[in-house]
Amino acid sequence: PLPLPAEQELTNALLQLNATGAQKVYFLEGHGEWPLEPPPGGDGLSELRRQLQREGYRPEPLNLLGRKEVPRDAGLVIIAGAKQDYTAPEVAALRTYLGEGGRLLYFTDANTEDGLGLFLADYGVQVDEGVAADPRFNSGNPFVLVSNFYGKHAITRPLQERGFNVQLPTARSLTLIREGFLLPGVTVEPVLLSSPYAWVESRPLEDTTPSSGEKMGQLTLVAAAFRDTRAAEHKRFDEARLVAVGESELLLDPNWRYEANRNLVMNALGWASHQVEKITLRPPDRETSTLELSEDQMRTLRFVSIDLLPLSLLGVGLAVWLSRRNR
Q: Distance between CA atoms of 224 and 245, rounded to whole angstroms?
A: 9
Structure confidence at residue 292 as a pLDDT band (50, 70, 90): very low
Range of the domain at 240: 4-293
Residue 190 carries which side chain, given as an amino acid letter?
Answer: P
The answer to whether residue 2 scores a pLDDT higher than 90 is no
272 and 323 both lie in a single domain: no
Q: For residue 29, give the CATH number of its domain.
A: 3.40.50.880
285 and 321 both lie in a single domain: no
259 and 303 both lie in a single domain: no
Question: What local confidence, expressed as pLDDT, does residue 308 receive?
Answer: 57
270 and 181 both lie in a single domain: yes
79 and 101 both lie in a single domain: yes
Question: What local confidence, expressed as pLDDT, does residue 192 receive?
Answer: 98
Q: Number of folded domains in the chain?
A: 2
Average pLDDT over residues 64-81: 97
Query: Whole-number mean pLDDT of the chain?
Result: 88
The answer to whether residue 71 scores a pLDDT higher than 70 is yes
232 and 279 both lie in a single domain: yes
Average pLDDT over residues 294-308: 53
Question: What local confidence, expressed as pLDDT, does residue 141 receive?
Answer: 95
Tally of CA atoms within 13 A in the half-sphere of 138 that contains its CB? 17
Question: What local confidence, expressed as pLDDT, does residue 25 receive?
Answer: 98
215 and 300 both lie in a single domain: no
Question: What local confidence, expressed as pLDDT, does residue 178 receive?
Answer: 86
The answer to whether residue 324 scores a pLDDT higher than 70 is no
Catalogue the E-assigned strands of the chain: 23-28, 57-62, 74-80, 103-107, 125-127, 131-133, 144-147, 149-150, 166-169, 174-176, 187-193, 199-201, 220-228, 239-245
97 and 164 both lie in a single domain: yes
212 and 161 both lie in a single domain: yes
151-183: per-residue pLDDT in tens?
Answer: 999 999 999 999 999 999 999 999 999 888 899
14 and 54 both lie in a single domain: yes
The answer to whether residue 286 scores a pLDDT higher than 70 is no
Using DSSP bridges, classify how beta strands 187-193 and 149-150 pair: parallel, antiparallel or unpaired.
antiparallel
Strand partners, 125: 176
123-154: per-residue pLDDT in tens?
Answer: 999 999 999 999 999 999 999 999 999 999 99
The answer to whether residue 56 scores a pLDDT higher than 80 is yes
268 and 318 both lie in a single domain: no
82 and 181 both lie in a single domain: yes
Sign of CA dihedral 232, 234, 239, 245: negative
Question: What local confidence, expressed as pLDDT, does residue 311 receive?
Answer: 60
Residue 260 carries which side chain, given as an amino acid letter?
Answer: A
Question: What local confidence, expressed as pLDDT, does residue 147 receive?
Answer: 98
Q: Distance between CA atoms of 193 and 214, rounded to whole angstroms?
A: 17
Q: Distance between CA atoms of 164 and 288, rounded to whole angstroms?
A: 24
Using DSSP bridges, classify how beta strands 23-28 and 57-62 pair: parallel, antiparallel or unpaired.
parallel
Structure confidence at residue 197 as a pLDDT band (50, 70, 90): very high
Out of 24-38, 135-149, 293-307, 313-327, which region has the weakest mean confidence (pLDDT)? 293-307
